[in-house]
Amino acid sequence: MRHTALAQTWFLSLRQGRQDPDMIYFDNAATTWPKPPQVIETMVQCMEQGGGNPGRAGHRLALEAGRIVYAARRAVAELVNAPDPMRVVLTANVTEALNLALHGLLRPGDHVITSSMEHNSVMRPLRALEAEGVELTVIACSPDGALDPGEVEAAIRARTAMIVLTHASNVAGTLLPIAEVGQIARRHGVLFLVDAAQTAGACPLDVQSAAIDLLAFTGHKSLYGPMGTGGLVIGPRVNADRLRPLKQGGTGSRSELEHQPAFLPDMCESGTPNVVGLAGLVAGVDWVRRRGVEAIRAHEMALTRRLLDGLAAIRGVRVYGPQNPQQQVAVVSLRIDGMAPDEIGLRLDEEHGILCRVGLHCAPAAHRTMGTFPTGTVRFGLGALNTADEVDASLAAVDCLARKGQ
């Protein structure tokens, strides 16, 4: 009974939070919220009318579940212009996808190049691989997060096996030059892995024109799907025979064998998939495509410009990153003189109803690059469903805090 009461209290608090007209959600860089209604409706319908385990039986519910899984592969492949949906490996999140690419393809003695603006989802696997004999070069970015492609090319060695870059910093919002680096990687015969956690759905992405060999994405951010969804898009230049899966087990295929299947995507997808989440992901990608990635990008750029212009006029506020919507996604990091980031975040929430993220954002390397380590920053992450009125209300709140801090 106690657990039932706790659950009822939790659901009531969620409903009340969603209905709060004064709440402003600026934490979309962590996860987008709210989700489009069709995402929720599709997931509920899947739970009510589905429930089969894909590939584990031949009855109608299992077959329908299999269709949902394939629809998720196809939706992502079409969004990023990947040539083969069957080389879209579905994972629980972008972190798992990045680990699959890094641990699955790199070997002791290999050399890998990355940037100083990476999230720990890249840096921690690379540091672990470095301890096992992989050589690592970290290219220093400028304090606003910008990367010189020439420095990447200059760092390539005979044993360079991979270049891995975030498409956009989750701290400064800075867009890295992936198209230029992709061409560099292609000229030198090096694999190119892109972390698209902040950009898939928010910026136009074309893995073929950008010469991207491996694209890691997540479903719960700018694809407007649920948590627990993501994947790795594997290009044709990647030799699947060299790819080591992170886990082995049931796949629903080649069940007569006690060895892992040797073909994609089954070799990398052991265990029952998150079919309900994937149904929501399909609906989220469909929502993004109907709205238009270019239109979403234009809307978020306009909001970012409005926010940056307003912050620039507030005394005592320091903004980090490019401070140019053309060069960044809708992520803005700031500090207020005389106040710690955690205090700012708490007061924005409690006094003004603004929900944001404070601290190091799981990216200490980026904060060292920006000069904001170890205290971090306050991060506003805007999304497709935010409005100009919300930006204006947030500017008024920051101005209020800045005046009190002087």
The residue among 296, 293, 318, 295 whose CA lies nearest residue 308 is: 318
Instruction: Say how far apart CA 137 and CA 187 lie, in whole Å.
Output: 19
Find the catalytic residue in 141, 203, 362, 400: 362
CA atoms within 13 A on the CB side of 262: 6
Say if residues 172 and 321 touch (Cβ distance below 8 Å).
Answer: yes
362 catalytic? Reply is: yes
Say if residues 381 and 361 touch (Cβ distance below 8 Å).
Answer: no
Say if residues 233 and 76 touch (Cβ distance below 8 Å).
Answer: yes
Instruction: Say how far apart CA 299 and CA 222 lie, in whole Å.
Output: 13
State the CB neighbour count (10 A cutoff) for residue 118: 26
Burial of 10 (0-12, 13-18, 19+ CB in 10 A): exposed
* Residue 34: cis peptide before it, omega within 30 degrees of 0: yes
Instruction: Say how far apart CA 157 and CA 293 lie, in whole Å.
Output: 37
CA atoms within 13 A on the CB side of 240: 17
Active site residues: 362
